Amino acid sequence: MSSLFESLQQFLRQTLDPSTNKLAEQSLSQLEMQPGFPQALVQLIGDDAVDPTLRFTGAVFFKNYIKRNWVPDNEASDRISQSDREMIKSNIVSLMISVPERMQLQVSDALSIIASEDFPSRWQSLLPELVNRFSDSDYKTNNGILHTAHSIFKKWRSQFKCDELFSEIKYVLDGFCPKYLVLFQVTDSMIDRHADNAAALAVLSQSMLLLVKIYYDLNCQDLPEFCEDNLPFFSSMFKKYLVYDNPLMTTDDDEEAGMLEKIKTSICEVIELYAQRYYEDFPQLSEFLPTIFQLITNASPEAKHDRLVCKAISVLTSSAKLDSQASTFSNTEAMTNICQNIVLPNVTLRTSDEELFEDNPIEYIRRDIEGSDSDTRRRAAADLVRGLMERFEGPVTTIFTQYINSYLETYKKNPQAEWKAKDTAIFLLVAISAQRATNLHGVTRTNALVNVVDFFTSNILGDLQSEVNQGVPILKVDAIKYLYTFRNQLTKDQLLTVFPLLVTHLQSRDYVVHTYAAIAIERILVLRQGKLPLFTPEDIKPFAEPMLTQLFALIEVGQTPEKLSENDYLMKAIFRVIVTSRKDMVPYVTVIMSKLTNVMAIISKNPSNPKFNHFVFESIGGLIKFVCPVSGEATNEFEKLLFGPFEVIIAQGVQEFVPYAFQLLAQLLEHHTGSHLPDNYVGLLNLVLDPSFWEQGNIPALVRLLEAYLTRGITNILETNRLETILGIFQQKLIVSRQNDHYGMTLMNAVIKAVPLDILKNYMPALVNCILRRLQSKRRDGKMVFDRFTRNVTLWYCLFFTLERLGSPDELIQVMDSMQPGLFGQVWESVLLNDLNSMRDPIEYKICSYGVVRLLTASNLLFQTQSYVESVWPRTFSALLSQLELPPDFKNDNDDELDRLEVDEESSMYQNTFSRLSTTAPLRDDPTSAFPPAKVFLAQQLMAMPVERRNIAKQALGVVERANEFLPKYFAEAGLPIDQF
């Protein structure tokens, strides 16, 4: 143990030195495999004799060690023994309390990670220990416990309601709340007692903030009886601290909020929650509103008060929607007061906004762009206006229209000096006009009392038509943003008229102006008319080359990887132009690819903006997708351009980009035909099958690439004996992993589609055995947990039954029943049949429907065992009828899949583990495309059964509910006489 302790200190110390950092991290990875490692680490963190810097480093390592290993992805290789787990849980609370505050946060985070998995069912001692550790005087200890409690409880805020969740919350309420109430009372009295003691208040104010945050946690799902019973006390506390003032709890910093501002902000969040969810049980709400109003009007314009003002305004917004508070907001005087004292001061552009516009334009854009600035005063004030509009549309529109007209008149008298007046007018107009909006379409419903198109013509268009680099940049931005916001209200002809103006504004020297032009162009190109894009390749053909040229020029201004990739909006616009232009990109593809590969080479040195990176690779995928099908040599040209850069990315281990490279290689490989691999892919296969590449972030992309190899190179794979390696990856890397077991079944789908049956037979027993063991691990407390893996297993079985080249379904049934008689029926009835009706994807639905029809009609074994005939066959037939009578929404057969291509932040946001490229998605293979409709197919196959099996089937159908109702319809649809069945 002593040598382990010494080695641990040595390696942790070496991680602090850049010259030895990597080697030390590797040594620690080896060391953590040794027995007793967690105990040595806990000992080091808690040892006061050890250097504080080393202890802190150990605390950080401990948190990350827990994060990596507490929930093992591979259940067969758990790095923390059960005895070490119990040791950690027994010591971690004491450790957290005893260490200095800086370390306390790290240990608390580790505790929270453990609790998220084990609490309460597998860690019932935690809550009593936390509660018993509370102190009436040691608030350093209390803050550690409160921080831990909040980190455990706050997960409830985002969880779906279920019995298990409410049981956990009730368990906490019963064990935690009595002491919590006492601590709240004591903390309040201590703050009063130490009102002139800055050091004491620094600790106590942190306690009060955590107590308020925990109150929100306890109420986030439902109003607990404890809180309802003690609502008078808590309301009095909240009122007290909303008006509480003590200079020792504030800060002189203009940017950073002090503890008092944070406490008031959290109280506002609680009141907003009650106004939204529990207003019927919260009669005190009306007593809070004057205080909230005063809080907003008294707040300074400094940034440190921004979140407080935003949350306070949100309270008013939620209250304005309530019938019980209508009298507070309904009269003209109250509305005018709100407009003058709440809305107008908070929508007017501040000096700090102008400074941000000039000094940090990309941050200004991210705060300002639609939906991204939820914590800005402007957005909060606009939401308040919309909240008032829900109940008082006419009066609110009238009041604000007067202010809008007044601001516009002020501007017209002196445009150069009064440009802020127009900025405010435009913002207010958008606030009262936009009633519903989405990121995809912009505003989808407007205020009928406001003509947004007329306002655009009269007050906006002129700013777009003026010379690009003249005038006030912010008004240019306002004009572009107005067009961007109300793009859905303009006709295609109107958009085509202003589109050249947006293209021209890409040439603006102002960063925000040309970026907003790119944003508006990108969002306009996303608009659809029914199921088809509004803008066709022909519409943008005259602008495609100048747009791409200017967008690349703006990106290439950046001289470092960080600056070059800073503006993801520009790269997203490039992507959108490419996928809108489609095959019209053929003349420019060489130039564009040269630009993209150059950008890729630069940013790979330091990948710093995930969104930008993502759209670089989406753009490459878009070019491959649309150019390769119309240009015979394009695939080879893309490979010449990309293989070199991808080899560098893979060799240098640029983790952020390796999954992208694998996806694009899969896409290119699929553009080849035949079953022999091109030479450049043969060598790559060795790399793909290297076990070291099969780490978490690479696995989905590698599975995608292996699918392409199986589809296009099965001959090479079999000739070089690589199939066993692929199956080994399935068994050792995929099927045993919690995170990736479902990808294992995706790979198995590709295997059974590509591998000949005579070869596949040799491996089926081992493969099925692996799948069954994994299914068994899905049982929790005697119940089956259905997830993506179980669903994919059901799909795999049905695909096997569907593929006629694999023979009869008996091939698979026999494999299972040879392991244990009747095993297929047990698994099929208890597990797989339950997932059948969850198949809502149209192709998966069809595979399951046709697969089950073939199971019912083409299997001999299903008719040879009494239990199969009496139970499995009729239950399966009943499930099939349910499925056939509840089909998914099938896409229009005339729809072009490419017309559905849409990449948005929500669907393609880069993630640390894996980010799927939409443009590289393969064309879906439908193995049922040659079959007639499923109902017709069922009737045909029933009629085609041999007479003896048909007679058995008719007897089994006697217990199938509603068979007599549906089968005549199916036979009629197939043009077959049912009486002959």
Tens of pLDDT along 114-136? 999 999 999 999 999 999 999 98
Q: What are phi and psi of 737, to 5 degrees?
A: -100, 130
Cα gap 276→273, rounded to integer Å: 5
Helix or strand run (H / E) with residue 743: helix 741-754
pLDDT at residue number 317: 96
Give me the percent of the chain exceeding a pLDDT of 70: 96
**Are the C-beta atoms of 551 and 506 separated by less than 8 Å?**
yes
**Are the C-beta atoms of 101 and 145 separated by less than 8 Å?**
no
Cα gap 742→720, rounded to integer Å: 27
Nearest to 753 by CA among 809, 802, 824: 802
Mean pLDDT of 894-901: 46
Cα gap 641→594, rounded to integer Å: 8
pLDDT at residue number 367: 85
Structure tokens given for 623: 């070019």
pLDDT at residue number 3: 84
* Pair type for strands 528-529 and 783-784: unpaired
Question: Which amino acid is present at 404?
Answer: I
pLDDT surpassing 60 at residue 846 = yes
Cα gap 794→784, rounded to integer Å: 14
pLDDT surpassing 90 at residue 924 = no
Q: How would residue 895 be classed by pLDDT, with cut points 50, 70 and 90?
A: very low
Helix or strand run (H / E) with residue 269: helix 259-277
Alpha carbon distances (Å) from 226 to 163, 219, 238, 479, 499:
19, 10, 17, 53, 59
Sign of the C-alpha dihedral, residues 611, 614, 615, 616? positive
Q: Mean pLDDT across the chain, nearest whole number?
A: 92
pLDDT at residue number 446: 92
* Pair type for strands 532-533 and 528-529: antiparallel
Give 869's Cβ-side CA count (13 Å radius).
Answer: 15
Give me the percent of the chain exceeding a pLDDT of 90: 79
Question: Which amino acid is present at 664?
Answer: L
Which tens digits make up the pLDDT trace of 744-768? 999 999 999 999 999 999 999 999 9
Nearest to 73 by CA among 729, 737, 771, 691: 737
pLDDT surpassing 70 at residue 696 = no
Sign of the C-alpha dihedral, residues 822, 824, 825, 826? positive
pLDDT at residue number 913: 52
**Are the C-beta atoms of 134 and 146 separated by less than 8 Å?**
no
Q: How would residue 669 be classed by pLDDT, with cut points 50, 70 and 90?
A: very high
Choose the weakest-confidence range: 689-698, 868-877, 893-902: 893-902
Q: How would residue 1 be classed by pLDDT, with cut points 50, 70 and 90?
A: low
- 62: exposed, middle or buried (Cβ count in 10 Å: 0-12, 13-18, 19+): buried
What stretches of 718-820 adopt beta strand conformation (E)?
779-780, 783-784
Mean pLDDT of 816-829: 95
User: 3-state SS of the chain: helix, strand, coil percent to 5?
Assistant: 75, 0, 25
What 3 state SS string does 280-310 have? HHCCCHHHHHHHHHHHHHHCCCCHHHHHHHH
**Are the C-beta atoms of 519 and 569 separated by less than 8 Å?**
yes
Mean pLDDT of 704-708: 96
pLDDT at residue number 371: 53
Q: How would residue 383 be classed by pLDDT, with cut points 50, 70 and 90?
A: very high
pLDDT at residue number 75: 63
pLDDT surpassing 50 at residue 904 = no
Choose the weakest-confidence range: 69-83, 467-481, 648-662: 69-83
Sign of the C-alpha dihedral, residues 238, 242, 248, 254? positive
Q: What are phi and psi of 467, to 5 degrees?
A: -55, 140
Please enumerate in sequence order all residues whose Cβ is within 8 A of that of 509, keeping only pairs 6 or more positions apart, or say none. 469
Give the angle 806-807-812 at the CA atoms, nearest 5°.
Answer: 75
pLDDT surpassing 80 at residue 431 = yes
pLDDT at residue number 891: 56
Q: How would residue 923 be classed by pLDDT, with cut points 50, 70 and 90?
A: confident
Q: What is the pTM of this model?
A: 0.89
Cα gap 639→680, rounded to integer Å: 9
The reply to whether omega before 120 is within 30° of 0 (cis) is yes
pLDDT surpassing 60 at residue 441 = yes
Q: How would residue 896 be classed by pLDDT, with cut points 50, 70 and 90?
A: very low
pLDDT surpassing 70 at residue 906 = no
Beta-bridge mates of residue 783: 780
Structure tokens given for 10: 């040595």
Choose the weakest-confidence range: 186-195, 286-295, 563-572, 774-783: 774-783
Looking at per-residue pLDDT, the higher value among 373 and 257 belongs to: 257
Q: Annotate 110-138 with b (16+ C-beta within 10 A) or e (fewer).
A: bbbbbbeebbbeebeebbeebbebbeeee
Cα gap 148→26, rounded to integer Å: 31
Nearest to 675 by CA among 709, 628, 720: 709
pLDDT surpassing 70 at residue 903 = no
